[in-house]
A and B are shown apart, each in its own frame.
Chain A
Amino acid sequence: MRTIRFILQKEFLQIFRNRGMLPIIFVMPFIQLIILSYAATFDVSRVPFNLQDRDRSATSHRLVEKFTSSGYFNLTGYSFSDRESQSELVARRADLVLVIPSNFERDLATTGHAPVQLMINAEDGFSAGVIQTYANEIIGNFNRDELKLLIPGGEVDAAGEIGMLSSNWYNPELKYTHYMVPGIIVILVTLIGLFLSGMNVVREREIGTIDQINVTPIKRYQFITGKLLPFWIIGLGELSAGLVIARFLFHVPMLGCYWLVYLVAGIYLLVVLGMGLLISTVTETQQQAMFIAWFFMVIFTLLSGLFTSIESMPHWAQTMTLLNPVRHFVDIMRRVMLKGSGVAEIAQPLSILTAYAAVMLTLAVNRYSKVSE
């Protein structure tokens, strides 16, 4: 027990005396949390649009007015040929070009219908769909008003309209911050935990101080405990600070229990730190350790379901994400915080994490050897 206490003391001193690292561990994560949580939004608003009006009639004017007054679109310029319109799209001055053909007014008056073309920048297919929906809605409104003008008291819309009343349960306003904050906290805790533990042993080896420890009577489990515990405590501290920011700055609801979050975090950190130590014991230089930690970190982050949903991945990738600890913790955090899930609901990811922790720690302890090569 005393041995562990000494090595703990050494580790803590090492962390707190490293002036360069302190702001990175204790300040950088929270700045990122505060700033970046606002970045995630798919709201499409103020779409820049360009007008190619070949009709220049009173009716086409009214249609354009509907677009500009809708609040969705922002008229940025005019073009006079298809080539010019396309060039506006390429130059990113517009995401939509509304092309009103000549004889628009006449066709509408004589045949009762007339086409307009919507040239949409579809690089981002999802936004393109939203832009199309907005435009359809505006044109629908226009039609209703026009028909009233053309045929007073006439049939409003022969085909009938199907109203779509959307409601989003658990997060009615679709607030992205509620959804992102728990996830970003997980990423930041993982980042710090994985890199600190990943660089730890290999650093001692590179500098040569590992030999000083190897000649002491310290046992393997004592050494590993002494190396893990400080980071485990720091990890939980970071999580707590993150939760405080989530609660008071972002007003993310906490429908579940805090003790459950901490229970899961405790186990989760063992996975991350075990993985870091394992990386640290199998590599020769800090550089190699960092590259490997980086490789996994990027994969874990992008395949965690934090930015793009797991549901949209192909099936093999969905299965593969079961091996991603970040995915499980992000999932649990969201469920506990936003839906108030209890132990029963999160039993599956929790048991995966527990098994993971056991495997990682066993591997890390076994790979570490006190005999230097």
Chain B
Amino acid sequence: MQSFIGFLQKEFYHIFRDRRTAMILFGMPLIQLLLFGFAIRNEIQDVKLGIYDQSRDTVTKEIIDKFASSGYFVLSRELHTQHEIEEAFSSGNITEALVFEPGFAERLQRDGKANVQVITDGSNPNVSRIVSGYTAAVLQDYRNSSLQRTGTEVGVVPVPLMMFNPELKSVDLFVPGLMALILMLVSALMTSISITREKENGTMEVLLVSSLRPAQIIIGKVVPYFLLSFINVVTIITVASLVFGVPCRGSILLLLIESLLYIVTALSLGIFISSVTSSQQVAMMIALGGLLLPTILLSGFIFPIASMPLPLRVISNLIPARWYLIIVRSIMLKGAGFSYIWKETLVLVVMSTVLMAASIKKFKIRLQ
């Protein structure tokens, strides 16, 4: 036991005596969360709208006014030919073009239906979809207000109720995702080189001839980083709620405990990488190159998992961030208690245990 405490002490010295690394470990996650929290959004402001109005009647004028006053769109150009639309798109003057068919108001009166063509730039499907969504909302809004004016509300009237995030702010969606991403990457990175570093520097021999058992070495490597990551967790949760105003509707204590569990999973993943690789270079490449994109793409952080093809939905089960993300969003936005998230918690516990056990098993007590 005493040798274990001595070993822990050594690990702490390692971390604190390398000031630059310690600064990086605490400064960078904070800077990144602040930066991304402000910059990563789904809303688009001031969509540049080009209008080709072949009808020029009162109805189209009203609709155009609706667009102008909606707050999403800025009328950027009036277009007069099909050719002009193409030109405006390729020069980047407009993001969306609206084309009203000739005799718009008349058709609306006579046939009960008139068409407006909405053209977007599909080479950026993100923007394209969001902008089409806005357009549909404005048209719906116009229709509702004209229904109310004429007092002919008929049939079933849907009353939407946006739960958990009534203002549809994307910040509430993305900040928990950023927490998952940043904590995962920084924690896995820290431990991924801890063992390989000793191997490379030649100090591993000293450890191997000591009375420490493999389990003690592995746990001794994880514990200091766990305590340090605790600071990261607290700062990140504080920033999320104070700076970005993400509500925490559930229990903060539960959120904290779950976050610590997630940290353990990430650190175990790192130590596992460390125990199966032979050089720092390889370990870091796996921890960085192997985790960055999968964590962003398969965790549900930006792209919803439910809409992915089946093989990817299966693979996404292996990504710890996916489970943590569900937990964080449930606690913070939905105010869920433990009974709603015990399955996800269990997955993280199992992952950590398996990774830890595998690292201890893989740890070789002989030099090659």
A residues near B (Cβ < 8 Å) are: 18, 20-21, 24, 28-29, 32, 35-36, 38-46, 63, 86, 89-92, 108, 112-130, 132-133, 135-136, 139, 142-143, 146-147, 155-176, 179, 184, 187-188, 191-192, 195, 199, 203, 206-207, 283-288, 290-295, 297-299, 301-303, 307-309, 311-314, 317, 320, 334-335, 338-339
Contact = CB atoms under 8 A, between A and B. Distances in A.
Contact of A36 (B28, B116, B298): B298
B284 A122 contact: no
B2 interface: no
B298 A39 contact: yes
A121 B306 CA distance: 14
Contacts of A284: 20
Contact of A314 (B18, B39, B197): B39
B335 interface: yes
B156 interface: yes
Given A38-B308, A286-B193, 5 more contacts: A20-B281, A24-B285, A38-B309, A171-B128, A303-B40
A268 to B, nearest CB: 18
A297 B288 contact: yes
A334 B161 contact: no
Given A42-B126, A46-B306, A286-B284, A164 B154 contact: no
Contacts of A303: 35-36, 39-40
B118 A164 contact: yes
Contact of A108 (B155, B158, B161): B155
A294 B89 CA distance: 37
A4 B216 CA distance: 48
Contact of B120 (A169, A297, A299): A169
Contacts of A120: 160-163
Nearest to B305: A39
B353 interface: no
B151 to A, nearest CB: 9
Interface in B144-161: 146-147, 150, 152-161
26 contacts: A18-B279, A35-B315, A38-B309, A42-B129, A90-B330, A112-B154, A113-B153, A114-B157, A120-B162, A123-B164, A123-B333, A125-B173, A162-B108, A162-B142, A168-B119, A169-B122, A171-B125, A191-B292, A287-B21, A291-B189, A292-B24, A297-B292, A298-B32, A302-B296, A311-B95, A334-B123
B286 interface: yes
A126 B349 CA distance: 32
A47 to B, nearest CB: 8
Contact of B125 (A38, A42, A113, A339): A42
A288 B24 contact: yes
A28 to B, nearest CB: 6
B55 interface: no
B312 interface: yes
Contact of A122 (B21, B130, B164): B164
Contact of B168 (A122, A159, A206): A122
B189 to A, nearest CB: 6
Contact of B140 (A136, A146, A295, A298): A136
Contacts of B170: 125-126
Contacts of B32: 295, 298-299
A207 B279 CA distance: 12
A42 B307 contact: yes
B155 A308 contact: no
Contacts of B113: 160-163
A171 B126 CA distance: 12
Contacts of B81: none
Given A90-B336, A290-B284, A313 B156 contact: no
B128 to A, nearest CB: 5
B233 interface: no
A147 B155 contact: yes
Which of B132, B146, B163 has its CB near the most chain A CB atoms (within 10 A)?
B163
B33 to A, nearest CB: 11
Contacts of B277: 20
Given A35-B315, A41-B303, A284-B20, A159 B125 contact: no
Contact of A28 (B28, B135, B159, B290): B290
